[in-house]
Amino acid sequence: MGFTEKQEALVNSSWELFKQNPGNSVLFYTIILEKAPAAKGMFSFLKDTAGVQDSPKLQSHAEKVFGMVRDSAVQLRATGGVVLGDATLGAIHIQKGVVDPHFVVVKEALLKTIKEVSGDKWSEELSTAWEVAYDALAAAIKKAMG
């Protein structure tokens, strides 16, 4: 079954909630580093910090990640697939040393952040919509990584 209109709406509405609070970006990276402390050096905006502090670069990167998943949801609904808008994503992920387990950690952090952001609007259906969109994006990035 394809990505439904309702799934796209669920992702869109929770994406809007995510963007309303810059603290959500801090939460996202805090969860990532709890799961994979060594990943800190992969993010230029975290390399020389004691911990995860709110910064424009951190917020911008988090919004980009969540926005790309949201865009993937839109693409899945429209075409049934995901095409990367940025052809350099594969090379960037290779350069940073990203491997399969990193995609799992980011997915977990993304879902935990969306759960927190969504509050009483959280549901298995919402989780599944984000999971499907993220998995499609991750597959496209991995394909670009060759």
Annotated binding site for heme b: 44, 64, 93, 96
Annotated binding site for O2: 61
Nearest residue to 36 (alpha-carbon basis) of 132, 111, 108: 108
Distance from C-alpha of 114 to C-alpha of 93, rounded to nearest angstrom: 23
Nearest residue to 106 (alpha-carbon basis) of 146, 66, 140: 66
Distance from C-alpha of 114 to C-alpha of 133, rounded to nearest angstrom: 13
Annotated binding site: 44, 61, 64, 93, 96
